[in-house]
Structure 1
Amino acid sequence: MATLYVILLTLHNINRWLVLLAGVWALFRGFSGIRSGRAFVVADRRPVVAFVSTVSLQLVLGLLLFGLLGAQNIPVFAGARPSFQWEHLGLGVLAAVFATLASALSKRADGNPAKFRAMTTWTVLSLVVALAGIPWWRPLLRFFTQ
């Protein structure tokens, strides 16, 4: 059980950085598309799809960790205020919802400016929520350690 916990925690930690990188990439494409007024092309879909994919994976890994620790009655964030584990979970779900909206609404919007605005707005909201939910007092990188 401890080995599975360490593996999931490591993957969850590493994927956090992929989420942030994909989010910055999506914002770069979104803001540059808004500023330039260019057409929304396949290359503009890639970063938002990468972002929603990494956020979704992060949520799944987090839920697996949450369930694993909950089944063992182990506090998820030892030393943190008691409500943080639920805040972390809720913010993770909300970030995933916002990232999904960034992808879905940018795909369905009418016109190039609307596509870029939807992508950028919902990505910003998702990243703000995700950044608020990161336990910054924990190690920034961990590789197969608790």
Structure 2
Amino acid sequence: MTPYVILLSLHNIVRWLVLLLGVLALVRTLPGLNGGRVFGVTERRAVVMFMGSVHTQLLLGLLLFAYLGMRNVPAFADAPRGGFRWEHVGLGVLVAVFATLANTLSKRATTDQAKYRAAVIWSGLALLLSLMAIPWWRPLLRLFTT
């Protein structure tokens, strides 16, 4: 098994973890927007796990991109439009920034409602951009094959 196949498979698996944890973060934080709820450990943990999965995904993606670049292999040669590889990388970086903002701003906010608002807005944007960055024309689950 080549490093490319391993990185691609891990990047594919972590994609589903990112989506699952993004939905979990929203499920845990959306009910708090109405007020009257304490932003507790469960909500904090959901936001942190989402951010961690996004950072792991970005790292795997950048390693994969660098590996392909060193071998002069075009990433996303099968893409429906030529610029998708740069969109994919750019959106991945933005997703990581937004997930980090969800964590940081919800931690720094002074009221529980402000914590919920920051977590929902930035996690929601990160999840939306994640969905936009996924190459949906490829197999949904690719395990250790090219």
**Shared fold (TM-score, shorter chain, > 0.5):** yes
Number of equivalenced pairs: 145
Q: Deviations over 1:3-24 (max 9, x none)?
A: 1000000000000000001000
- For the pair 1:128 / 2:115, whether they are aligned, the reply is no
For structure 2, which runs of at least 5 residues remain unmatched after alignment? none
Q: Secondary structure at the match of 2:2?
A: helix
Hey, what does 2:18 align to over in structure 1? 19
1:9-65 Cα deviation digits (max 9, x unpaired) = 000000000000100010011111223521111111011000000000000000000
> Which consecutive segments of 4 or more residues in structure 1 shift more than 2 A?
none
Map residues 1-80 of structure 1 onto 2, 5 A cutoff: 3-35=2-34, 37-80=36-79
TM-superposition CA deviations, 1:106-138 (whole Å, max 9, x none):
000010000000000000110111111100000
Q: Which moved more, 1:73-82 or 1:91-100?
A: 73-82
> Could you tell me which amino acid in structure 2 is paired with residue 76 of structure 1?
A
Give TM-score, length-normalised by structure 1.
0.96
Q: Secondary structure at the match of 1:34?
A: helix
How far is 1:82 from its partner? 1.9
The residue identity in structure 1 corresponding to 2:78 is G
Q: Which residue of 2 aligns with 1:104?
A: 104
